[in-house]
Structures are given as structure tokens and as C-alpha cells.
Amino acid sequence: MIHLEFNLTSILMLLQFILLAFFLYKFLYKPFFKMSDERRKRIQEDFSLAEKAKLEAEASQREAKQLLDNAVAQAEGIIANAKKNRRRLRDSRADRCETEGRKPVTKGPRRDRSPKERGDSGDL
């Protein structure tokens, strides 16, 4: 059989333990858990903000790609229109030259070359 003896020392030790547990809870555990909960909330907010920023970036990227595709299509249209106008202008000049009895000029002097490349000495 177990013999338990309660005396004043046992009661004081129990009281000390209860006081220690109370002060630990009040000044250590409670602030620690409060700080831990605040940190958890802050991390969740940061994750939600990051997810929102990611979605906005994806939307911006899709919009930029669409704008680029539209710009490329517009540029191709402009180039095709310019080629068509060039052919039409060349054909109309050739027709005009034929009606006037002149030989159409297929190539003109190149204006993008320097005088040295054209063979000009530069003296006037």
C-alpha cells in the first residue's frame, strides 16, 4: 500500500507549482500564442496578396500578348497594303509610260549610297 504523507512542505510545493503555472500562462504562454496567431494571420494575408498579384500579373501578361498580336496583325496589314499600293503605282506608271511611248524605269538611282560609293568625287 502506498503511504502518502501531506505536510506543510507538500502544500507549499503545490502552491508554488500552481503559482508558477499561473505566471507562466499569464506572462509567457499567452503572449507567445498571441504573437504566433498574429504571425499566422500576417502570413495568410501575405499569401493572399501574393496570389492576387500573381493573378493580376497573369492578366496583364495576357493583355500584353493580345496587344502585341494585334500590333503584329496591324503591321502585317499595313505592309500588305503598302505592297499592293506599290504594285498599283508601278503598274499605273508603266501604263502611263506605255501610252506616252517611253520605256518604264524599273530601277532608279539609289539615294541611300554615299557620294563615294556612287563614284562622285564631290566636286561640283
Q: Binning pLDDT at 50, 70 and 90, where does residue 42 land?
A: very high
Cβ 39 vs Cβ 31: under 8 Å: no
Q: How do the domains of the chain map onto residue ranges?
A: 12-102
Q: What count of Cα atoms within 13 Å lies in the side-chain half-sphere of residue 67?
A: 6
Please provide the distance, in angstroms rounded to a whole number, between the alpha carbons at the two ends of the chain: 133
The pLDDT value recorded for residue 27 is 92
The pLDDT value recorded for residue 4 is 73
Lowest-pLDDT range, 2-6, 11-15, 56-60, 67-71?
A: 2-6
C-alpha cell at 86: 506599290
Q: Quick check: 104 pLDDT over 70? A: no
The SS3 assignment for 44 reads: helix
With CA atoms as reference, report the closest residue to 102 among 93, 114, 111. 93
The pLDDT value recorded for residue 37 is 96
The pLDDT value recorded for residue 115 is 60
Question: What is the pTM for the complete model shown?
Answer: 0.47
Q: Quick check: 63 pLDDT over 90? A: yes
Each residue of 1-25: pLDDT tens digit?
A: 677 777 889 889 999 999 999 999 9
- Pairwise CA distance, residues 119 & 16, whole Å: 110
Which of 59-73, 80-94, 101-115: highest mean pLDDT?
59-73
Distances (CA, A) of 48 to 11, 45, 51: 53, 5, 5
